[in-house]
Amino acid sequence: MTLSMLAHRDDVGLKDGLLLVGGQWRASSDGATWTHRHPATHEEIGSFAVAGVEDVDAAVKAARKAFDEGTWPRATVSERVRVLHKFSGLLREHSTELTKLLALDNGVPISFGNIYAASVTVAADVFDHHAGWIDKAGGETFPGYQGGDKLAMTFREPIGVVAAILPWNAPFLLFAQKLGPALAAGCTVVLKPSEFATFAALRMVELLSEAGLPEGVVNVVTGPGNPTGEALITHPLVDKISFTGSRAVGKRIVEASAGTLKRVSMELGGKSPALVFPGAEVALAAATAMGTVTMGLSGQACIAQTRALVHRDCYDEFLAVAQGVAGYMTYGDPFDPAVLASPLINEKQLDRVLGYIQKGQEEGARLVMGGTRMQGEYSNGNFVAPALFADVENSMTIAQEEIFGPVLAVVPFSDEDEAIRLANDTEYGLGAGVFTKDAKQAFRVAKRLRAGTIGINGFQVEPHLPFGGFQQSGLGREGGRSAYEAYTELKTVMMPLSEAMM
């Protein structure tokens, strides 16, 4: 049977994508477009406008005008809360449609798109969470430091025009993690979805208008990093860049933002370890680690636990369960509820992942299973059979670099100190898993790990919990109060109350 996405596309009624500038949907000024090919079949699914420098300039100026003169930054608490809650309700109502659009965008199976952390529901919950900060995240009042009758206070004000740049792998959650706090704080936005996941994001923006968001508050520029992304990150009227994506582009954004000292928050890549101690539930640990590099996104997830550090006492058991979990994965039509894992997003990523698998073998790691491109009915797509590497040394390339594919590297260790040393021997620091039945050991190890989020015998992204990275995994946190505050500037206002101090 030959896989095809075209009937699904027609069923969803996918229409070509346009830019949104100051409330008007329109083509790019030079007529440029991008044709999206599905990662499972390479079929042409649809096309969308590519915003050039002129279009990005118009979108940023529309956001600037909406910020400087429009109603949203000056709206009452109740107006903003109402719009954001209406939007979260619309997201829930359109959940099935959006999940199908995502499957057409990036090939993530519907089965996985319905799992909480990847779902439309989590995006709706993130908006509700941030709507809750609008009437709570106020300023403070202070006494005079050197005496005197003085009133001093702080206010939180919206930071201004936000450029929100999304990756392709988790657009529901990341749309919400950026636009939720930005809109709650009263900012205006220019959104750039990934060129590999545009259609679901465009539909979410239509729903924002339906929820009553005023024109010009959210503008959309679609297209690739160059020219669209570059024009956005170098635009002088952008106050803040909120980015999720690769470390390489993150570094470019820091460089490009220096000219006007833009505020920057970024969620970048990871090489997160799973530490598995003697006596732990080894099956749970192996299912979690192998699950994060196969299930749903086939390891194309920032938080995947791609480096399993396993005590020698349970090493063989871990490898056996990991093999079993990989063997359980099913591939094919993402609209089939029995399909559990996706293809790689594009041919460039396919070549990159196969290159890392080859490098792992050349450097002496033992390939236990998988690691080849899948054939037969899968041969038109970017499907790779999950690769399990044993006897990996932490210095090897496959243990150090983010592969972003279905590759699990298993490194043996002998004691707790060695495990922690290996876990922290990385340039990243996004997350880690600790698998043990000893609660004291769990917290002792969690405290010593240099990573932003630690899951003890389990892990879940939640709207109200800070999420982000140490070291080169990012700057700042998404989720929770600190995320809301990152879209505000703190202003101090003081006034002496006695004549003598005037």
* Binding-site ranges for ligand NAD (CB under 6 A): 165-170, 192, 194-195, 224-226, 229-230, 233, 244-246, 249, 252, 267-270, 302, 402, 404, 430, 474
Q: Distance between CA 304 and CA 298 in Å, rounded?
A: 9
Q: Which two tokens stand for residue 336?
A: 């089939």
Q: 472 CB contacts (<8 Å, ≥6 apart)?
A: 247, 268, 269, 427, 428, 429
Q: Which two tokens stand for residue 121?
A: 């529901």
Query: Could you tell me the sign of the dihedral formed by the alpha carbons of 41, 303, 463, 472, in that order?
Result: negative
Question: 3-state class of 331 per DSSP?
Answer: coil
Closest approach of ligand NAD to the CB of residue 84, in Å = 22
Q: Distance between CA 331 and CA 298 in Å, rounded?
A: 10
Residue 363 among the catalytic residues: no
CB 244 within 8 A of CB 65: no
Q: Distance between CA 94 and CA 80 in Å, rounded?
A: 21
Q: Distance between CA 495 and CA 502 in Å, rounded?
A: 9
Within 10 Å of residue 174's Cβ, how many Cβ atoms?
28
Within 10 Å of residue 216's Cβ, how many Cβ atoms?
25
Spatial CA neighbour of 108 closest among 225, 194, 13: 194
Question: 3-state class of 66 per DSSP?
Answer: helix
Q: Distance between CA 283 and CA 495 in Å, rounded?
A: 63
Query: Could you tell me the sign of the dihedral formed by the alpha carbons of 247, 249, 251, 257, in that order?
Result: negative
CB 360 within 8 A of CB 19: no
Question: 3-state class of 148 per DSSP?
Answer: coil
Beta strands 273-276 and 431-435 are parallel
Closest approach of ligand NAD to the CB of residue 254, in Å = 11
DSSP 127: H
- CA 221 → CA 89, 128, 263, 471, distances in Å? 25, 25, 20, 30
What count of Cα atoms within 13 Å lies in the side-chain half-sphere of residue 327? 8
Q: What angle do CA 367, 368, 374 make, to 5 degrees?
A: 80
* Token pair 């390489």: residue: 248
Closest approach of ligand NAD to the CB of residue 98, in Å = 18
Out of 54, 69, 267, 462, the active site residue is 267
Q: 198 CB contacts (<8 Å, ≥6 apart)?
A: 17, 34, 36, 48, 105, 222
- CA 376 → CA 343, 345, 350, 466, distances in Å? 14, 19, 17, 43
Q: In the complex with ligand NAD, which residue's Cβ is closer, 72 or 484?
A: 484
DSSP per-residue letters across 430-442: SEEEEE-S-HHHH
Question: 3-state class of 25 per DSSP?
Answer: strand
Q: Distance between CA 250 and CA 267 in Å, rounded?
A: 8
Catalytic residues: 267
